[in-house]
Amino acid sequence: ARLGTNDSTLIRVIVTRSEIKERYQQMYKRSLTQDVSGDTSGDYKRILLSIIK
């Protein structure tokens, strides 16, 4: 049996990530993506960047 997708959950996850990035920018006057990129490396960096983009 296929599990399928829950569209409302997927949409909420995407919207929440966007809201987090916007709030981070407001609070710190910096890009979350740039800060993660500058403070991490290797596979960890790649995974985090893929999550927040």
**pLDDT per position as a tens digit, 1-45:** 556 678 888 888 889 999 999 999 999 999 999 999 999 999 999
Pair of tokens at residue 23? 């709030």
Confidence (pLDDT) at 8: 86
Confidence (pLDDT) at 53: 84
Confidence (pLDDT) at 3: 63
User: What is the pTM (predicted TM-score) of this model?
Assistant: 0.73
- With b meaning 16 or more CB within 10 Å and e meaning fewer, what string describes 13-51? eeeeeeeeeeebeeeeeeebeeebeeeeeeeeeeebeee
Confidence (pLDDT) at 10: 83
